[in-house]
Amino acid sequence: MRGQSARSGIEGTVNIYNMKKGNCALSYSEKERICEEAFIKNGPYWHIYTDGTKMQNIFCSKEDLDTGAWLLAAACCLCCKVRLITFELMGNHVHLIVSGRKKDCLELFDIFAGKLKRTFKRKGRIIDWRPFQASILPIESLQALRNEIIYANRNAFVASPEYTPDSYPWGGGCAFFNMWKTHIKPTGLSSLKVKTQRSLVHSRDIKPFKGLQVIDDQVYIPSFCDISLGESFFRDPRSYFSVLTRNAEAYSLVAARLKDAVFLTDDEIFSATIIHINKEYDVKQPAALSPAQKIETARHLHFRYNASNQQIRRILKLSPEVLDELFPQQS
């Protein structure tokens, strides 16, 4: 299955765009029914993640992230009972959205983690791997799956102003509904010199990885991540990007499940603030709020959207002392 995933991923995306004429004729309910059928057929689904608050940085450079992506691809090849729907490699944590039996999905993570430990040890990196443990949560509805996919695909975008949700090269989000997949021609790993293959997958035995593909020494994401399956859970590209950019409430639900830290950008928190104060106080700018209204709005942003004290301070111009009293920081 893994050896064919690149071809099926590319063709799946081509089909999505080629069927536009027919797809446009479908009603909302018909599109939704097709998505529900895909959801029922391909489960169960899980969100595997690690806690970055307890882990030192693993991926400290582009080279480290490239290595991590190759090792995840290799783990997928060795654990063919699991389908990787999307993923995001961050400096000190990872997100994997997967389908398969729970024990098989955890085995995928264990293989990936084991490869990371061995490879970085050979590189001379001293890392305390004890906090790098998998947490796994079931995803039990189509809408929840959509939200979890989006949450993972937004992770780097929220953490860094350098990236958009579809430009981060070490996650599945860059391939979702992206037409570049129909124009580029990746190279098959097996067409490279054996020494190069071994270097990229960090393994002497290269037979399990012959289905992987390469672009400029980076692993081609659709060759191990089932992007076309992930896309099938959305009615069309517009519905995907709508959830990606406009669903702060959904992000808050996922963040609460994962006990995650900041998950909205300053711009998104500001938009949520404007909506709230316009509805509650009929004002258009935070500067027009009274001190009491600012306090109530700060509580709303903190508890509803998990906004950090720093974000609230920047938007509401409240003093650090007031915010620390409202929301004491854990030492």
Supply the pLDDT for residue 123: 92
Whether 100 and 43 have beta carbons less than 8 Å apart is answered as: no
Whether 316 and 298 have beta carbons less than 8 Å apart is answered as: yes
Supply the pLDDT for residue 16: 45
Q: Please report, for residues 59, 89, 118, 275, the alpha-carbon distance to residue 127 in angstroms, rounded to integers and kept in the order given.
A: 11, 17, 11, 44
Distance CA 224, CA 211 (A): 8
Q: Which residues of the chain, if any, have pLDDT below 70?
A: 1-24, 246-253, 255-256, 259-263, 330-331
Whether 274 and 305 have beta carbons less than 8 Å apart is answered as: no
Supply the pLDDT for residue 264: 72
Distance CA 180, CA 193 (A): 27
Whether 227 and 9 have beta carbons less than 8 Å apart is answered as: yes
pTM: 0.78
